[in-house]
């Protein structure tokens, strides 16, 4: 199949990267709303201790909200980057980040879903006032993270397949994914994630 390059070597990409970008921007919005003092949607869908930190305008927590919001926007930019052919250096960066984002998001969402399923099955108990919140993590936040991870996987895989250095990009995507997995495992064992 012959690829037609546009000016500066750019190719229109598949819609997967645009879906990643839309997902990232939608996901960033609550972080920015909560960082600016709003609690819309937080009271019923997020742990009460976190809502209290946002409502009380605790500086370190506001910084965390701003940073996470910016990271989500960065993820959206990675998605846009995955819609175009770029130089090999940029392609390597995009695929490394895409592989890492895939694992981080699917892992994190999977933990939410697994915890929620265990609570629903009665295998583990939570305080009664947190039972409803557990359902939000099971049915909203967990799947939302997993969908984002799968979108990153599709966009990154599609991008790497259309690139001339497929083998090298697959290796970098795998390294990014492995690094994210090790980071996720370490944070889970440490009780952070």
DSSP string, the chain: -PPPP-GGG-----HHHHHHHHHHHHHHHHHHHHHTT--TTHHHHS-HHHHHHHHTT-HHHHHHHHHHHHHHHHHHHHHHHTTS---HHHHHHHHHHHHHHHHHHHHHHHHHHHHHHHHHTTSS---GGGHHHHHHIIIIIHHHHHHHHHHHHHHHHHHHHTSTTHHHHHHHHHHHHHHHHHHHHHHHHTT--
Each residue of 87-97: pLDDT tens digit?
767 888 888 88
Look at residue 73 and tell me whether its pLDDT is greater than 90: yes
- Predicted pLDDT at 165: 65
Cα–Cα distance for residue pair 64/120, rounded to 1 Å = 30
Instruction: State residue 2's pLDDT score.
Output: 37
> Which of 23-27, 82-86, 183-187: highest mean pLDDT?
23-27
Average pLDDT over residues 68-86: 89
Name the pLDDT band for 4 (thresholds 50, 70, 90).
very low
Residue 157 confidence (pLDDT) above 80: yes
Residue 3, pLDDT > 60, answer no
Given this model, what pLDDT does residue 185 score?
77
pLDDT digits (tens, 9 = 90+) for 162-178: 766 666 667 767 777 77
Quote the mean pLDDT of the chain.
82
Judge contact between 147 and 67, C-beta under 8 A: no
Domain positions in the chain: 14-188
């Amino acid at each position: 199949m012959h690829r037609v390059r546009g000016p500066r070597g750019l190719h229109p990409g598949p819609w997967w990267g645009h879906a990643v970008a839309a997902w990232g921007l939608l996901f960033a919005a609550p972080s920015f709303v909560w960082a600016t003092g709003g609690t819309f949607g937080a009271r019923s869908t997020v742990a009460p201790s976190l809502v209290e930190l946002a409502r009380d305008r605790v500086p370190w927590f506001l910084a965390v909200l701003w940073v996470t919001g910016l990271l989500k926007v960065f993820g959206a930019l990675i998605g846009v980057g995955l819609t175009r052919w770029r130089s090999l250096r940029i392609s390597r960066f995009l695929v490394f980040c895409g592989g890492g984002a895939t694992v981080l998001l699917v892992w994190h969402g999977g933990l939410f879903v697994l915890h929620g399923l265990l609570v629903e099955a009665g295998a583990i108990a939570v305080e009664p006032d947190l039972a409803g919140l557990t359902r939000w993590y099971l049915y909203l936040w967990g799947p939302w993270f997993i969908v984002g991870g799968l979108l990153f996987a599709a966009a990154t895989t599609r991008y790497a397949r259309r690139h001339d250095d497929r083998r090298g990009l697959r290796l970098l995507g795998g390294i990014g994914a492995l690094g994210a997995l090790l980071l996720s495992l370490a944070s889970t064992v440490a009780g952070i994630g």
